[in-house]
């Protein structure tokens, strides 16, 4: 049975506070360590033969997308990292909705009351399995290696090696949209019809968070947090939640229509905002900015991550795929050792006293230190400057690294020898 946990509202929106775009915020240094890197930008757009739907990164390193209303009667398309688009006429994928890469390196697609899968080397040869409870929504790999998709009144568990042997886990009133495996080993479902987030174990037991409106997309971040989009609320927002805490609601511009959402390499969530014609970027703590640059009235709806710090976006109105670059892992803060022992230190009374001082210019940085014999691997633990040690004779290596905004920088190191 499901237990209800009602969320609270808290509004946090840097875009409203500062009134500037993501690019400007980076230029001002308001995104911390990311300021030293190239700013994210819309690099290009690529035409397709119809309206692109959900997108996913394939096992072949290309991005795959579903197509509806194709002028060429194509149902599935692939775009290479360089922007080359290839489309395929594959009738078994018609009316496909959700798409993901499975644990078997096949691409899996949901349809009404069916799932389909194919090898990316041959998208026209498709295996289709009828499953009554599949509603044709998103699909994701679960923590157990099975595929999971929300239906109407149930969440469906599908073994990739035997899709006909699926299991439906009942959830009364469920009308799900997005689904994702969280870092907590649970399945998280955006239940649009039930206006809630469902958190389910792989045995079907679940809890839920009640919301003020129906969620659409959902993505798993780091440290067991998930984010979900609520495009149809009176106050449009993206929710952030880590069980069992109450959700944090991050306000989006009115009627911006955030739908698809992903967690990207830069450690933030990105959401496609159809009516705003842009992407929203939301940090784990709830700061929100935006990235424009798409063609006018292009209609960004869904997105996925790709190779090399890229995002790929379905632009539904202009029937294009957009490419965003520069969404890279932020560089961690630098650390400098300001005081260290000489290369050779003499032990008195069997031990030597050595002292290290260190600093980082990054505000709020915290440190971890390691002091081990040179033949051993580093063993870090929290520390503060200065650190003092008493050591027996031997060859040692000291290392210290700084961490800020969840990102660790490269360690600074010093080697020395204690003589008996």
Show the domains of the chain with their CATH numbers: 3-325 (2.130.10.10), 336-419 (2.60.40.10)
The pLDDT value given to residue 210:
96
Calculate the dihedral angle through the C-alpha atoms of 322, 325, 328, 333, rounding to the nearest 10 degrees: -140
Q: DSSP label at 10?
A: -
Place of tokens 């079907």: 204
pTM of the model: 0.78
The pLDDT value given to residue 239:
97
Q: Max CA-CA distance within the chain?
A: 85
**What number of residues does the chain have?**
420
The pLDDT value given to residue 330:
81
Place of tokens 């009364």: 172
The pLDDT value given to residue 343:
95
Q: What is the pLDDT of residues 356-392, one digit of tens each?
A: 999 999 988 999 999 999 988 999 999 999 999 999 9
Q: Residue 19 in 3-state DSSP?
A: coil
The 3-class SS string of 217-251 reads CEEECCCCCEEEEECCCCCCEEEEECCCCCCEEEE
Q: What is the mean pLDDT of each run of 10 residues along the chain (420 residues)?
A: 36 34 37 57 98 98 98 98 97 97 98 98 97 97 97 96 98 97 97 97 97 96 94 88 94 93 96 97 95 97 97 98 94 94 93 96 94 92 97 96 88 95
Residues in contact with 122: Cβ distance below 8 Å, sequence separation at least 6, in sequence order: none
The pLDDT value given to residue 37:
62
Strands laid side by side in the 127-130 sheet: 99-101, 107-111, 114-118, 127-130
């Amino acid at each position: 049975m499901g237990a209800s946990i009602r969320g609270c509202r808290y509004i946090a929106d840097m875009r409203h506070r500062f009134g500037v775009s993501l690019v400007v915020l980076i230029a001002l240094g308001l995104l911390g360590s990311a300021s030293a890197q190239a700013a994210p930008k819309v690099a290009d757009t690529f035409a397709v033969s119809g309206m692109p739907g959900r997108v996913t990164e394939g096992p072949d390193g290309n991005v795959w997308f579903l197509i509806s209303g194709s002028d060429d009667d194509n149902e599935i398309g692939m775009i290479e990292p360089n922007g080359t688009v290839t489309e395929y006429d594959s009738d078994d994928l018609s009316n496909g909705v959700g798409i993901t890469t499975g644990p078997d390196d096949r691409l899996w697609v949901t349809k009404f009351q069916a799932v389909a899968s194919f090898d990316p080397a041959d998208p026209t040869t498709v295996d289709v399995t009828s499953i009554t409870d599949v509603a044709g929504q998103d699909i994701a790999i679960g923590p157990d290696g099975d595929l999971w998709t929300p239906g109407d009144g149930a969440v469906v568990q599908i073994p990739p090696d035997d899709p006909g042997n699926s299991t439906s886990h009942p959830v009364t009133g469920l009308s799900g949209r997005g689904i994702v495996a969280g870092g907590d080993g649970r399945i998280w479902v955006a239940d649009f019809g039930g206006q809630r987030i469902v958190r389910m174990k792989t045995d079907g037991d679940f809890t839920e968070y009640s919301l003020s409106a129906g969620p659409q997309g959902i993505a798993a971040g780091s440290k067991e947090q998930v984010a979900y989009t609520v495009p149809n609320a009176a106050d449009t927002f993206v929710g952030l939640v880590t069980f069992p805490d109450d959700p944090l609601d991050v306000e989006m511009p009115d009627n911006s229509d955030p739908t698809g959402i992903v967690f990207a390499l830069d450690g933030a969530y990105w959401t496609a905002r159809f009516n705003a014609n842009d992407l929203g970027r939301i940090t784990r703590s709830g700061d929100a900015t935006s990235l424009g640059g798409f063609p006018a009235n292009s209609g960004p709806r869904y997105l996925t991550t790709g190779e090399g710090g890229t995002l790929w976006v379905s632009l539904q109105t202009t029937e294009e795929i957009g490419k965003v670059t520069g969404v890279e892992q932020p560089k961690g803060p630098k650390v400098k050792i300001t005081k260290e022992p000489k290369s050779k230190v003499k032990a008195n009374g069997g031990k030597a006293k050595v002292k290290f001082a260190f600093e980082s210019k990054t505000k709020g940085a915290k440190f971890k230190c390691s002091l081990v014999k040179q033949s051993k691997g580093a063993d870090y633990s929290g520390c503060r400057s200065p650190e003092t040690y008493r050591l027996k004779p031997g060859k040692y290596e000291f290392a210290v690294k700084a961490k800020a905004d969840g990102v660790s920088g490269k360690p600074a190191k010093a080697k020395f020898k204690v003589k008996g």
